[in-house]
Amino acid sequence: MSSRERPAAVLFDMDGTLVDTEGLWWDACVEVACGLGSPLGEADRKALYGLSVEDAALHITAALDTAGGPGGPGAPAVEAMLTEAFTVRLGSGVTTLPGAVALLEALRAAGVPAGLVSASPRPVVDLVLETVGGHRFRLSVAAGDSARNKPAPDPYLAAAARLGVDPAACVAIEDSPTGVASARAAGCAVIAVGLPVTASGVTTVPTLESVDLPLLRRLASGPVPPGA
């Protein structure tokens, strides 16, 4: 595959895309919310899916306000509690999702840079990278590494800028509406894993096992820098 045929980079979401952490994230949210006197329900689970820790903290504090109980901690404190609860669960180990490692290794063999673009805080990202293998990524972007988090385009724009590539030449792989919105707004071609999406510029697949180099090559549209 020549440099002009391949994507300039493939940018991966982390939670729910590369590693099976969505259940751990929900458990962390439940623990924190219940500890503050605001049990979560199924509607909250759907609302929290794919949210950054900042937005999840805002959701929980809003639920506390709605409950009308005594004033709870502010969003920054809840954010710290969520990060701690999630990190503790990750410490027991995480499972990579089917096709993740094989795809990352195929990209390495082809010389295509891989980037990790996560809405999770840096301590969480670094912990997961120990499992997935930090050596498989050219860079990682975590919460706080850009001015705004997903669904804003900033994380993907930051990753492309650090790699020195055009976002339109990149393919982003996501599994949540929040992440898809972020990658689309940045101008990336998007693969949505296990997510029914009908928006233009988004290709849906059941698992990462359905993603290969020919598909990535077809989806990338922008120029690849000389020598990339």
Is 44 one of the catalytic residues?
no
Bridge partners of 141? 117
> Of 13, 55, 154, 166, which residue is the catalytic one?
13
Q: Nearest-CA neighbor of 79 among 32, 126, 124, 22?
A: 32
114-121/170-174 β-pairing: unpaired
Q: Nearest-CA neighbor of 87 among 155, 15, 10, 154?
A: 15
How far is 161 from 152, CA to CA, in rounded Å? 15
DSSP 8-state assignment for residue 6: S
**Which residues are designated catalytic?**
13
